[in-house]
Structure 1
Amino acid sequence: MDNNNKQRMKGFKRQAWWMTVVLTVSMNVIGLSTAQAETLSLTEEALDCILEPNKNIDVSSPVEGVVDEVMVERGSYIKKGAPVLTLRSELEAATVNLAKARAEFGSRTVERNDKLQDLISDHEKDEIATDAQIAQLELQEAKVRLAMKTIYSPISGLVIETLKEEGEFVSADPIMTIVSINPLHAEVIAPVSYLGKVQKKQKAKVGLESGPFKGEYQASVKTVDPVVDPASGTFRIQLTLPNPRNKIPSGLKCQVRF
């Protein structure tokens, strides 16, 4: 083989080597870009969601009665344990006074009879002590019945509805609705392709587009429903969104990015 042919063969080999290198690099770049695209499709695609209270309580009365005073208004913020409504309790208050008088008399009787150890039998001593104890228990019962005429808030939150007014009769039906919106819950219906990719405690961004609340907020995944709806091919995800000072109202539509 002459020198010209040898040079041509070397040139072909160099070209083939460079084509192999370029093809390999290109395949790697394509593979990397595909992986990045998959990641971006998961993190950048927005799913619709709605903001809901973390608690929604229908407050009821443990006893029947007539409303004496409604102590809160719609829109009021109340703390857990604060009184929200009282029922008329004249009878219960009188019962407490009567039971208190009996309990005090029983205590005095026991004290007097302690000084007469030799003048009364053991049976009489036991009967007097038992009567005094029963009187104390009746007093405690009367106080509990009186206390049940005042209804207290079971949570800290906002009163969104009052269902009874002064003079109305209360039974087992709700008397008001109280919600807690700090934190808020973002409810998401996600396609089945997200199953296994979203985990509890995972961080996410919740976007709002409404007026003064517009912006993105940090949230975290609270629950991931393991049950898929076969009809729609979706499952539920619930996120927790901190809401200090109850700044953001519930009921707003939102979008979430994981």
Structure 2
Amino acid sequence: MINAKIKSFVLIVPVTVISILSACKGGKEREKVMIQQDTIPVKVISLTPENADAQIVTSGYFTTNDETLLSFKNGGVINRIYVKEGDQITKGQLLATVNPTEIGSQVEQVQLSLQKAQRDYERASKLFKDSVATLEQLQNARTALEVAKQQLQSAKFNEGYTAIRATKNGYVLRKLANDGQIVGPGTPVLQVNGANEGKWILKVGLSDSQWSALKIGDRASITSEALQGRILQAKVSRKAESIDPQSGTFGVELSLESGDLKGLAAGLFGRATIYPTSKQTAYSLPYDALLDGGENEGYVFVTNDNQTAKKVKVQLGAVQKDKITVLGGLENVGSVIISGSAYLTDGSKIKVVK
């Protein structure tokens, strides 16, 4: 009986060990299969730098670099505004007036104070000569007289700013107040520019790579529907030193050269082609490599070790028939993944296939 139990135990132990070993071996095989399933086959291409298309096509709006907000120095009730939006104005032209009653009363008060100070000083001078008034009293009377003179000069200066006059030849862009309205000191009443003098510019917004490719003085050509087919020549006159937080672009101003500028108005839409003097390094990629493409930027997957995919942001350039130009974002990149990107995430394991 005992021998039978021992034999049975001896038979059970090898079977159990074999089962455990088989289970371990099966687990390793399943893990290997799972690893193989997580590795995504992709196709890649090596990057070859080339010169980017020198032209930068963009759009913006016409304006001038001397737009000015005009206001009253002292404020008050607006008597009358003599111009409307779009009116042509000339330097020195009367544009608006404020009711002068208040400032006129202040001038009268200061004049009366000056007269009193003058009488006090004359009286103190006579008394000082008769040894009745002291030197200190004479000096105080003289000081009061000088203060009254300065107050009168300040009041007359303010009285001269009860009217708004044009500071240069140009146009009225906006009318910001109306007759009878009460405005405070410095409150904008009119917005004008010097467009009548031909100082037109086109303001455009560029990506960081486009902005860095430009230099002051680079040539540009501008078209607009308002120009009726005319092409205006311009040059880069200013580059913003910081990004516009609203648009996310860098501002560039294109100054129009002398020519036929008839038909232009502030705010008109214009399209510009800019020709940078400096060359950019760019890369041409097939469309399959691009993910989430926008107007000037998109994303691609790259790899440097042919084992891991990395998602990077790139700046886009010219669009060609079957490929797109990338202007930035691929520096220090070995290869770009052009097939299998739809199944990838940042950090995915990959297997490069031919």
Does TM, normalized by the shorter one, top 0.5?
A: yes
In the alignment, is the contact (CA less than 8 A) between 2:219 and 2:274 conserved in 1? no
> Post-superposition shift, 1:72?
2.6
Give the TM-score, by structure 1 length. 0.65
Cα distance in structure 2, aligned partners of 1:245 and 1:201: 21
TM-score normalised by L of structure 2: 0.50
Q: Is the alpha carbon distance of 1:109 and 1:177 closer, same or farther for their aligned partners in structure 2, counting shifts above 3 Å?
A: same
Flag the structure with higher strand content: 2
Q: 1:70-219 alignment to 2 at 5 Å?
A: 70-79=81-90, 82-107=93-118, 110=121, 114=125, 117-119=128-130, 120-153=133-166, 156-171=169-184, 173-181=187-195, 182-190=198-206, 194-212=210-228, 214-219=229-234
1:53-79: per-residue Cα shift (whole Å, max 9, x none)? Answer: 324434333433111121333223335
Shift, 1:84, TM fit: 2.5
Structure 1, unpaired ranges of 5+: 1-34
How far apart in 1 are the matches of 2:260 and 2:114?
Answer: 48
Cα shift readout 1:125-169 (whole Å, capped 9, x = no counterpart): 112212212221221232234234333446653112223332222
Identity, in percent, stands at 20
Ranked by relative contact order (alpha carbons within 8 Å, sequence separation 6 or more), the top structure is 1
Question: Hey, what does 1:20 align to over in structure 2?
Answer: none
Structure 2 distance, partners of 1:66, 1:245, is: 42
Segments of structure 2 that go 5 or more residues without pairing to the other structure are: 1-49, 276-354
Measured in 2, the distance between the counterparts of 1:135 and 1:228 equals: 51
How far is 1:184 from its partner? 2.0
- Contact 1:62-1:148 within 8 A present in 2 as well: yes
Q: Secondary structure at the residue paired with 1:256?
A: strand
Superposed displacement of residue 246, structure 1: 6.5
Q: 1:64 aligns with which of 75, 88, 97?
A: 75
- Deviating beyond 6 angstroms after TM superposition, the runs of 4 or more aligned structure 1 residues are 226-229, 243-246
Distance in 1 between residues matched to 2:61 and 2:111, nearest whole Å: 55
Question: Which of structures 1 and 2 has the bigger CA Rg?
Answer: 2
**Structure 1 CA distance, aligned partners of 2:78 and 2:255?**
37
Q: Quick check: 2:80–2:97 contact (8 Å CA) kept in 1?
A: yes
- For residues 249 and 178 of structure 2, the distance between their equivalents in structure 1, rounded to whole angstroms, comes to 44
Q: What does residue 48 of structure 1 align with?
A: 59
Q: Would you say how many aligned residue pairs link Structure 1 and Structure 2?
A: 217
Matched, 1:238 2:253: yes
Residue pair 2:234, 2:255 contacting (<8 A) in 1 also:
yes
